[in-house]
């Protein structure tokens, strides 16, 4: 069945569909799944909530604004450089030497001091450092063009999961024709030149060569939003209202894709033979 347009206009036909590609890279990024104050975790890849929040900020939407248009977009995440986990240790105290307040409030909406008095609170925050992801959003071409322009000239500052994690440039890789899977499969590896050379050197040592081996393709993990996916993640925001933040779930499928490395003169014109292609989960971390 042909889906209706998100704005109530004429039905969206397959020819109207396109894919917006975003490059999510920064020294630090964090895609939390829980909002606990004392422990701020991060998932190993961007969440739908985080990417939706970035797009909403670019459009200038207020906290309680409806997100219907953004909900229609089907998302895929490709981990070009997964990065590594960073644990940040925090100590919170009142500079005036007063006891810290409780998390709860009284009937009058006033926070009470802790009993017995507590002057120091420890919090732990987790980040992904030196990670690079490609977020692909499939939907109506007109909506994606508007989002691309908004991200290039955002209304509010953009962040990768937290306000303290601004993205590096370029952020927008363009709007491409095709479906989600084919666009992610054909987009060249977005890793830095240094990361690519490090990977080629490691692969050369693994093959017993005197120098680097530059393959034509490289394996990357992808998470695709899919109605028949075998996993469910609860990261779809229904509203960003501070007093009524709620989420729902979506089905996803996880797999590996071999994507073009982008080397100008690859040493292998085709994919590495299956018997030689030994998957190393740490191979893209440069270890």
CA 23 to chain centre: 9
**Which ranges of the chain does DSSP label H, i.e. alpha helix?**
48-59, 68-71, 141-152, 180-186, 193-206
User: Which range has the top average pLDDT, 57-61, 89-93, 98-102, 269-273?
Assistant: 57-61
- Confidence class of residue 98 from pLDDT cuts 50, 70 and 90? confident
pLDDT of residue 10: 46
Q: Which tokens belong to 266?
A: 């690859």
Q: What tens digit of pLDDT does each residue of 154-208 get?
A: 999 999 999 999 999 999 999 999 999 999 999 999 999 999 999 999 999 998 9
Confidence check: pLDDT of 18 > 50:
yes
Better-scored residue on pLDDT, 111 or 175 = 175
Q: 34: which residues sit within 8 A by CB, 6+ positions away?
A: 40, 41
Contact indicator for 63, 240 with CB cutoff of 8 Å: yes
Distances (CA, A) of 99 to 36, 102, 120, 180, 245: 21, 9, 8, 53, 29
Contact indicator for 23, 78 with CB cutoff of 8 Å: no
Contact indicator for 144, 137 with CB cutoff of 8 Å: yes
Q: Mean pLDDT for the chain?
A: 86
Q: What tens digit of pLDDT does each residue of 214-224 get?
A: 999 999 999 99
Q: Which tokens belong to 164?
A: 């303290």
pLDDT > 90 fraction of the chain, expressed in percent and rounded = 57
Gap between the Cα atoms of 153 and 201, Å rounded = 39
pLDDT of residue 14: 57
Q: Which tokens belong to 148?
A: 């691309």
pLDDT of residue 38: 74
Hey, which residues does 258 pair with through a beta bridge?
219
| pTM, 2 dp | 0.82
Distances (CA, A) of 76 to 95, 213, 222, 262: 45, 29, 7, 21
Confidence check: pLDDT of 4 > 70:
no
Q: What tens digit of pLDDT does each residue of 230-257 get?
A: 999 998 988 888 777 888 899 999 999 9
The number of C-alpha atoms within 13 Å of 98 and in the hemisphere containing its C-beta is: 7
Better-scored residue on pLDDT, 35 or 211 = 211
**Where do the domains of the chain lie, and which CATH numbers do they carry?**
14-85+129-180+219-258 (3.30.70.2660), 188-216+261-287 (no CATH)
Contact indicator for 83, 74 with CB cutoff of 8 Å: no
pLDDT of residue 268: 64
Q: What are phi and psi of 248, to 5 degrees?
A: -130, 175
Q: In terms of Cα–Cα distance, which of 165, 179, 171 is closest to 137?
A: 179
């Amino acid at each position: 069945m042909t889906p209706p347009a998100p704005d109530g206009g004429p039905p969206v036909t397959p020819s109207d569909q396109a894919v917006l590609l975003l490059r999510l890279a920064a020294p630090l990024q964090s895609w939390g799944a829980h909002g606990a104050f004392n422990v701020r975790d991060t998932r190993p890849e961007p969440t739908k909530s985080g990417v939706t929040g970035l797009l909403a900020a670019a459009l200038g939407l207020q906290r309680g604004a409806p997100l219907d248009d953004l909900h229609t977009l089907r998302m895929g995440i490709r981990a070009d450089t997964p990065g590594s986990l960073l644990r940040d240790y925090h100590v919170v105290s009142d500079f005036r030497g007063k006891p810290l307040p409780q998390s709860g409030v009284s009937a009058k909406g006033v926070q009470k001091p802790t009993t017995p008095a507590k002057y120091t609170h420890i919090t732990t925050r987790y980040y992904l450092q030196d990670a690079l992801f490609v977020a692909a959003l499939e939907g109506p071409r007109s909506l994606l063009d508007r989002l691309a322009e908004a991200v290039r000239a955002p209304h509010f500052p953009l962040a990768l999961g937290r306000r303290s994690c601004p993205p590096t440039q370029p952020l927008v890789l363009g709007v491409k024709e095709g479906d989600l899977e084919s666009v992610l499969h054909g987009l060249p590896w977005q890793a830095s030149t240094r990361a690519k050379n490090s990977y080629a050197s490691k692969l050369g040592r693994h093959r017993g060569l005197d120098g680097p081996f530059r393959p034509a393709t490289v394996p990357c993990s992808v998470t695709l939003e899919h109605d028949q996916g075998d996993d469910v993640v609860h990261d779809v925001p229904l509203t960003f209202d501070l007093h009524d933040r709620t989420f729902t779930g979506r089905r996803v499928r996880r797999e590996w894709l071999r994507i073009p490395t982008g080397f100008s003169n690859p040493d292998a014109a085709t994919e590495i033979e299956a018997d030689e292609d030994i998957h190393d989960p740490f191979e893209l971390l440069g270890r």
